[in-house]
Amino acid sequence: MGLALRALLAKDLRILGRSPALAALLIIYPIAIALLIGLALSSSPALPRVAFLNEIPPDQATVQLGRESINTTTYERRLFQAIQPVPVATRAQAIADVRSGATIAALIIPAELPQELASASQTAYVDVIYNNNAVNQSLVEQAIESKLAQANAALAAQLSRVADSYIDLLLKGGNLNFLGSTYKILGLVRAHSLLQAITAELPPSSPVRPRVEQVESFAEVAVQHLGGSKAVIGAVAEPIGVKQEVLSGHRTPLNDYAVAVAVSVSLMFVCILLASGMLALEREEGTLARLRRGLVPAGLLLGAKALLAAIVGFAVSFAMLAGIGIFVPLDWARVGLWIASIAVGSVAFATLGVAMGAIVRDLRAASLLALFVSLPLVFLALVPSAAVSSALFDAIRIISAIFPFKPALEALDAAINQSQPSLLEALGHLAALIAGFGVVARLALRG
């Protein structure tokens, strides 16, 4: 048994080695994919080039609202996080740059922006000029609007603090500086106390007493409710906030999940294509019938093909993961778990591959079947539950559960990122699929 297995493995490795295109692909593929994914995940996305003109004179960049100073250059910096600014000297130059395509848009901060902000009575505007390219416009629009929304929120918070200080002044009293003069404000709290003292000193029959009591009552209500209005203004500044909570396990960062997806996809393609191809090749060369004539038991033949595909798939995927690890920080302390998840995943994919190779009659059909089955599985496994109806998602979950891609991805994600479901659960799922597809392959080879 061992001798036959060794002979079959050595033969298949030799055949693989003599297919230069395939061997080169198996070496170049993980390196190329690891480089691409690593560079994509480790480098920042390119920012759109936007002509930028700030028309506000430098000495007017700060706006004073009450006790708060608002520096407009702070908000300028926020916008620069979303674009690559190309400074221009004039509005005409900005427009010319957009027309010529040197920049895909122009962002102009008008000179009157500080006054508009200071007035607090009208909306302040920045000007954005696009060319007629819808894709570019959408790209810049999204980038600028997202950062502008953040800037607006920060500005609203600052304006809310200004309003708070005025309300405090109204309530507690103090000095108000306005147009170079200082005014002393009594404040509603002290006004209410004074009115209470006056009411106490008035005789009960005094004709002014009811009117003073009316004003005192108003002062009391005003003190109570004006205090509450600060909270209302705060809520308007940020009407809805987001509190994040992950129900179970560890939330996988998108970059790390992308690594798990990329490695799982590669593992799947290498194992399935190789296992199905090598078995179909036996049929195509006519050697399958010769081997099956009592020389090699069917189980051993299938096992040898699956083992070879799993070994190659494992080596390619691990090399790819290690390569990506150069660019993306991965927890190398968990390398044992990576190995376990890739090893079991590779056997599961290879078993599915030999089942496909046993079902079809030739190499081309095996490759086509492998691609037709594998590609939809990747898409199905990545469909988020919120993207489709619950009935459709249930169907997708069932389909994903009877093929190895989803559990292999879950196992690798758990190994790399400690995500849920647990590694053990995913490995158990894969083991069940290995058994199932092993039976399918055995039955198909009998036919």
Partner 1 sequence: MTRLQARGLSKRFGSRVAVRDVSFELDPGAVLAIIGPNGAGKTTLLSMLAGGLAPSAGELRVPAEGGVGWVPQQTAVYSKLSVAENLRLFARLERVADVEAAVAGMLDQAGLRERADEPVGRLSGGNRQRVNIAIGLIADPSVLLLDEPSSALDPRQRARLWEFILTRVAGGTSVAFATHDIAEAERYAGQLLVLADGEMLFAGPPQGLRGAEHGSDLERAFVAFLAERGH
Contacts with partner 1 by CB under 8 A lie at: 3-4, 7, 11, 14-15, 18-19, 285-287, 289-296
Q: Which is nearer to partner 1, 1 or 424 (CB)?
A: 1
> How far apart are alpha carbons 152 and 156 in whole angstroms?
6
Q: Which is nearer to partner 1, 230 or 292 (CB)?
A: 292
Q: Which is nearer to partner 1, 99 or 290 (CB)?
A: 290
> How far apart are alpha carbons 265 and 396 in whole angstroms?
18
User: 54 forms bridges with which residues in the sheet?
Assistant: 109
407 token code pair: 């559990």
Least spacing, CB of residue 277 vs partner 1, in Å: 13
184 token code pair: 């002393």
Contact 342, 314 (CB under 8 A): yes
Q: Which is nearer to partner 1, 291 or 322 (CB)?
A: 291
Supply the angle between the helices 335-359 and 254-285 in degrees, to the nearest 10: 40
Least spacing, CB of residue 358 vs partner 1, in Å: 17
Contact 292, 342 (CB under 8 A): no
Least spacing, CB of residue 83 vs partner 1, in Å: 56
Least spacing, CB of residue 20 vs partner 1, in Å: 11
User: 128 forms bridges with which residues in the sheet?
Assistant: 107
Least spacing, CB of residue 254 vs partner 1, in Å: 44
**Amino acid in position 51:** A
Q: Which is nearer to partner 1, 13 or 208 (CB)?
A: 13
DSSP string for residues in 331-369: -GGGHHHHHHHHHHHHHHHHHHHHHHHHHSSSHHHHHHH
Exposed / middle / buried, residue 368 (Cβ in 10 Å: 0-12, 13-18, 19+): middle
Least spacing, CB of residue 434 vs partner 1, in Å: 26
189 token code pair: 């709290």
What lies within 8 Å, CB to CB, of 128 at 6+ separation is 105, 106, 107, 108, 140, 141, 144
Q: Which is nearer to partner 1, 30 or 357 (CB)?
A: 357
Least spacing, CB of residue 295 vs partner 1, in Å: 5
Phi, psi of 230 (to 5 degrees): -65, -40
> How far apart are alpha carbons 279 and 342 in whole angstroms?
22
Q: Which is nearer to partner 1, 184 or 293 (CB)?
A: 293
Q: What share of the chain is helix, strand, coil (3-state, %, to 5)?
A: 70, 10, 20
What lies within 8 Å, CB to CB, of 331 at 6+ separation is 416
Q: Which is nearer to partner 1, 254 or 289 (CB)?
A: 289
Least spacing, CB of residue 273 vs partner 1, in Å: 17
Least spacing, CB of residue 285 vs partner 1, in Å: 6
Q: Which is nearer to partner 1, 343 or 445 (CB)?
A: 445
